[in-house]
Amino acid sequence: MKTGIVVFPGSNCDEDLVSAVSSITGGNVVKLWHKEADLHGCDVVMLPGGFSFGDYLRSGAIARFSNIMNSVIAHAGQGKPVIGICNGFQILCESGLLPGALLHNIHRKFICKNVFIRPCSKRALITAGLDSGRAYKIPIAHGEGNFFAPEETFLEMCEKDQVIFRYCDENGNHTEESNPNGSLDHVAGICNVAGNVMGMMPHPERASDNAMGNTDGREILQQLYSAVNA
C-alpha cells in the first residue's frame, strides 16, 4: 500500500500527514510535487491542509489547475481513494471532484481549536466502520470552512449518504453552538457518490499521537486504511 501526499506552494500540513500515515501503515509514503503529473504508483492520494498559492482568488482555486490534479482526477475516476483535508477539501470542491463550496466562516474569523464531529456516512471509506454514535475530538484550523451547496444538490447528497461528518458537541448533539463556521446542516466533511473521494475540514493528522494528547484522528485514518485493505 503506497500513499502519495500532494504538496502545493503553501501546503503546511504535509509533514503532519506523512508522520501520521507512516505510523499507521508502516511507511511507503511519498510526497508528490504539484507540478508533476506522475502519481508514482500510489494507491491512496491525499491533499493536505495549508494555504495553497496563498489562498489567492479563493482557497484551492489556483491549486485546482496544477499539473498533478489531472492525474488525481483520473485516479479518482478509477475508483481509487482520494482524501482532501482542510485546504485539500477546498481543492477537491474547486476541481469538481466533490460538490458544493467552502465559504468564509460565518463570523469572518480564522478558527483554530478542537471541535467534535460525528461520523454519518456508511458509504465513504473513511467512515464506514466508525461509531456513528460517538463524538470524535479533532482540531480545525481554517478561515473558509463554511460548507454550502444549493438546496437541490444538498438534498440529493443526503439521499445518497454523502455527508461523512457533522459538527457536534461532546455528547454528539448537533447544536448551533457546536457548529464553528456556520456550515450547512453542520457539515464537516463529504464524499462523492462512490465514496472513494472524501473531503473534511477537521485535521485528523493533528490528533494522531499520544504526545498530542488525542488519538481520535488516528482512529479515523486507521478506518480509511482498513477499508482500503479490505
Phi, then psi, of 57 in degrees rounded to 5? 65, -85
- Is the pLDDT at 106 greater than 90? The verdict is yes
State the pTM of this model. Answer: 0.97
pLDDT for the residue numbered 116: 98
pLDDT for the residue numbered 21: 97
Q: What is the DSSP letter of 212?
A: G
3-state secondary structure of 27: coil
Q: 32: pLDDT confidence band, cut at 50, 70 and 90?
A: very high
What does each C-alpha distance from 59 to 12, 21, 49, 183 come to in angstroms? 14, 25, 11, 16
**Residue 112 is part of a domain; what is its CATH number?**
3.40.50.880
Q: 14: pLDDT confidence band, cut at 50, 70 and 90?
A: very high
Mean pLDDT of all residues in 139-145: 98
Phi, then psi, of 65 in degrees rounded to 5? -95, 5
Q: Is 203 a catalytic residue?
A: yes
Mean pLDDT of all residues in 212-224: 96
Specify the number of domains making up the chain: 1
pLDDT for the residue numbered 207: 97
Q: Is 186 a catalytic residue?
A: no
The pLDDT > 90 percentage for the chain reads 97
Q: 206: pLDDT confidence band, cut at 50, 70 and 90?
A: very high
Q: 230: pLDDT confidence band, cut at 50, 70 and 90?
A: confident
Q: 27: pLDDT confidence band, cut at 50, 70 and 90?
A: confident
Q: 199: pLDDT confidence band, cut at 50, 70 and 90?
A: very high
Q: Is 86 a catalytic residue?
A: yes
pLDDT for the residue numbered 126: 97
Mean pLDDT of all residues in 165-187: 97
Query: What H or E segment, with its residue span, contains residue 24?
Result: helix 14-25
Residues 6+ apart with CB under 8 A from 218: 20, 23, 24, 204, 207, 208, 209
Please state the length of the chain. Answer: 230
Q: 154: pLDDT confidence band, cut at 50, 70 and 90?
A: very high
Q: 124: pLDDT confidence band, cut at 50, 70 and 90?
A: very high
pLDDT for the residue numbered 42: 97
What residues make up the domain containing 175? 3-229
Residues 6+ apart with CB under 8 A from 151: none
pLDDT for the residue numbered 101: 98
Name the active-site residue from 13, 42, 86, 93: 86
